[in-house]
């Protein structure tokens, strides 16, 4: 299989790799680059566990080819914490017990981050809509929704 060069920015760091043509972004991140924060769940675009942010948009890395992301800026859950300090969303997920087995959590965090980036003061319906592509089989969703709302409130208080 032909290998193709792929360059992108991952969580602020330049990455350059050769991948087999047709490799998904999920596999490139996990197997080539070693960022295992995006999870391979259904591989069908249904569960959202593999969600990452590509150029500011939420994308499913299991259905995205790595070579189509050449030159893109990619954010994964690994890039949320800064200097050892958890992102407000991560802190809120911990405080609200919004994670149990944890498999869906990275995708949930990515979906929530895109929401708060565009809508800093979301309604509950906004949060439900933003998380509607992500499946969790443990929490029943309510703690996750509350965590996102809590993080939003913390953000707005910090900004005030």
In the complex, which residues of this chain contact another protein (CB under 8 A)?
Answer: 1-2, 20-24, 43-45, 48, 51, 57-60, 62-65, 67-68, 111, 114, 128-130, 132-134
> Residue 75 is inside which H or E element, if any?
strand 73-75
Smallest separation (angstroms) from another protein to the CB of 111: 7
Q: Which of residues 91 and 128 has its CB atom nearest to another protein in the complex?
A: 128
Q: Which of residues 42 and 94 has its CB atom nearest to another protein in the complex?
A: 42
Q: Which of residues 94 and 124 has its CB atom nearest to another protein in the complex?
A: 124
Smallest separation (angstroms) from another protein to the CB of 14: 22
Q: Which of residues 30 and 59 has its CB atom nearest to another protein in the complex?
A: 59
Phi/psi-derived region of residue 20, left when phi > 0, alpha when psi is between -120 and 50, beta in every other case? beta
Cα–Cα dist 139/142, whole Å: 7
Please calculate the CA angle 15-18-20 and round it to the nearest 5 degrees.
130
Coil, strand or helix at 3: strand
Count Cβ atoms below 10 Å from residue 33 Cβ, excluding itself: 19
Q: Which of residues 95 and 126 has its CB atom nearest to another protein in the complex?
A: 126
Smallest separation (angstroms) from another protein to the CB of 50: 9
Residue for token pair 């309510």: 142
Smallest separation (angstroms) from another protein to the CB of 10: 18
Q: Comparing C-alpha atoms, which of 119, 115, 8, 116 is closest to residue 70?
A: 8
Tokens encoding 91: 């802190």
Smallest separation (angstroms) from another protein to the CB of 160: 28
């Amino acid at each position: 299989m032909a290998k193709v060069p792929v360059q992108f920015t991952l969580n602020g760091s330049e990455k350059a790799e050769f991948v087999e043509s047709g490799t998904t972004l999920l596999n490139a991140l996990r197997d080539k680059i070693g960022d295992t924060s995006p999870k391979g769940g259904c591989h069908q675009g249904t569960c959202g566990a593999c969600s990452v942010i590509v150029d500011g948009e939420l994308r499913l890395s299991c259905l995205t080819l790595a070579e189509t992301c050449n030159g893109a800026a990619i954010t994964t859950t690994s890039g949320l914490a800064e200097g050892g300090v958890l992102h407000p969303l991560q802190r809120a997920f911990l405080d609200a017990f919004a994670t149990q087995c944890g498999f869906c959590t990275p995708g949930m965090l990515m979906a929530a981050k895109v929401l708060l980036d565009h809508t800093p003061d979301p309604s509950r319906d906004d949060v439900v809509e933003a998380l509607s592509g992500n499946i969790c089989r443990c929490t029943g969703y309510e703690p996750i929704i509350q965590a996102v709302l809590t993080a939003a409130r913390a953000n707005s208080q910090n900004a005030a």
